[in-house]
Amino acid sequence: MKDRLVNLLKLGISAGLLFVLFRTMDVRDSWDALRGMNIGLFLVALSLLWLTKLIRAYRWRVLLDAVDVRVPIWRLTYLYVVGTFFNTFLPSGFGGDAVRIYELNRYSHRGPASVSTVLLERLVGLAMIFALGLAALPLIYADLPQPEALVLTVVCGVGLIGSWLLFQHRIIEPLLGFLPPRMRAKMEALYEVVHAATRTGALWQSLGISLLFSFVLFIINYILALAVGIHVPIVYIMVFMPILSLSMTLPSVGALGTREGAYVLVFAIAGVAAPMALAMSIAFYALNVAIGIVGGLLYAADALLGLRTTAPIADEALNPRHHEDN
């Protein structure tokens, strides 16, 4: 019952935000931009988004290797593609993480390690996005309206400091006693993986891979902007990406509404008309839909053909509701 109410809330958030956006702007301009979109550039962006699945799979494998969980790179890439299906068509941006955790355990039989590497992989990626956004901000700070520049600085700075703090077990450990037992156990498992990744050098490797992933993500958004007729320097996209990334983790269905609202708000800072920013957001969603459809078909074929392993689930933490607690 609780899950249904939460999902209804997410559906309401997406529907409400989209309703507000469509009521407050002339969406005909958005549709015109999408109809006139440069398909060649769109396909280039789609190819690069496929590449990010492989990059993230390598980043994940580095962290898995640190805890002696061995999974073929093709399987990890497959799980990212399947995860895109669940993230795109189901409530919240964490549905794909739950699927990755569940499916990975069929290989590893190590629930806590599986959960923790997924969380750490996402955390490392966000930390790099915050760091790059903060590093790029001085390049355009003087050209931004003062209030918006301050907000961007606070978001990047707080995000980066918060990410750093989460890596500091000694600082966070006294606070763990105030957490519920289940959440405390998950945090302790996370720190065990952080320790292993630090000791083996995997954490630095994953940060290096995150640097590559982040730049590819910036390029994807820059190409999409050009495809719909938006011309902004890529440095703006680097600065905006922390907010755009956070918007896709907020409660919603496939980030619909939250992502569109974020694109409209942040690109307005660069002087981009709201309908054009909305068109860019929809184009980005279309990329994920294209990959998500492939992921859904692969997952269905995998189940129907019996290709998935049938090992029992080894830890109750793999319940897809796990991410509702985080």
- Per residue in 183-203, pLDDT (tens digit) is 778 788 888 888 888 888 999
pLDDT for residue 314: 38
**pLDDT tens-digit profile of 229-238?**
999 999 999 9
Q: Higher pLDDT residue, 304 or 61?
A: 61
* Contact call for residues 237 and 217 (beta carbons, < 8 A): no
Across the range 154-176, mean pLDDT stands at 84
Average pLDDT over residues 292-318: 67
The per-residue pLDDT for 275 is: 94
Please state the rounded mean pLDDT for residues 110-125: 83
202 within 8 A of 69, measured Cβ to Cβ: no
Q: Tell me how many domains the chain contains.
A: 1
Q: How confident is the model at residue 2 (pLDDT cuts 50, 70, 90)?
A: low
Q: 95-111: per-residue pLDDT in tens?
A: 677 778 777 777 666 66
Residue 263: its pLDDT value, please?
A: 95
Average pLDDT over residues 22-39: 89
pLDDT class of 1 with cuts at 50, 70, 90: low
What per-residue confidence (pLDDT) applies to 136?
96
Residue 313: count of CB within 10 angstroms of its CB: 14
Cα 106-108-110 angle, rounded to 5 deg:
105
Instruction: Flag whether pLDDT at 165 surpasses 90.
Output: no
List CB contacts of 253: < 8 A, sequence separation 6 or more.
10, 11, 14, 89, 90, 91, 92
Q: Which of 20-34, 281-295, 303-317 has maximum average pLDDT?
A: 281-295
pLDDT range class, residue 224, cuts 50, 70, 90: very high
pTM: 0.86
User: Residue 7 pLDDT > 80, yes or no?
Assistant: no
**315: domain range?**
2-325
* Range of lowest pLDDT (44-53, 89-98, 125-134, 254-263): 89-98
